[in-house]
A = this chain, B = another copy of it.
Amino acid sequence: MTKDKTVRLTKFELELMTALWELGQASVREIQEKLPEKKRPAYTTVQTIVYRLEEKGAVRRVKKIGNAHIFEAAVTRQSTHRRLINELLDLFGGSARPLMAHLVETGKLSLEDVRELESDLLKQDGQPAKGEEGKKRGRT
């Protein structure tokens, strides 16, 4: 079910997707305007990318307002992020540990962060909330 395709996106495409994820549904114009001014490409440039994203199956047209098409993401931020993370992880031998270590070394992650993360984990793990949670127990 959560089998949504994880298309490979370039950096720029990713930025458009990010804009779209935030907008929910939007026209090319809105997407373009959502991009930071410094690197805001021409309207047609954005249009082209959106079309390509559509071909890749990353976005889809949902409706038409006036004569403008309204798009929305067809892949979730989640799955896209997951894909990126996995790719990065591969570089680190597939394990998150070295990545963590690196984050710590470069000061991106502090002891506090880790502690808080731990307590969050405990909460989730200790008392399995109501509902479904038994699926992702990848404990080795």
Check: A118 CB closer than 8 A to any chain B CB.
yes
A27-35, A45-53, A96-104 - interface stretch: A96-104
In angstroms, how far is the closest chain B Cβ from the Cβ of A131?
Answer: 15
Check: A68 CB closer than 8 A to any chain B CB.
no
Contact present for B84 and A107 (CB under 8 Å)? no
Check: A111 CB closer than 8 A to any chain B CB.
yes
- Per assembly, the copies of the chain total 2
Check: A127 CB closer than 8 A to any chain B CB.
no
Interface residues of A in 9-58 (CB under 8 A from B): 11, 14, 18
Contact present for A125 and B111 (CB under 8 Å)? yes
Contact present for B114 and A85 (CB under 8 Å)? no
Check: A62 CB closer than 8 A to any chain B CB.
no
Which residue of B88, B113, B140 contacts A88 across the interface (Cβ within 8 Å)?
Answer: B88
Contact present for A136 and B88 (CB under 8 Å)? no
In angstroms, how far is the closest chain B Cβ from the Cβ of A127?
Answer: 14
Complex A-B, nearest 3 residue pairs according to Cβ-Cβ distance, in ascending order: A107-B138, A96-B108, A96-B109
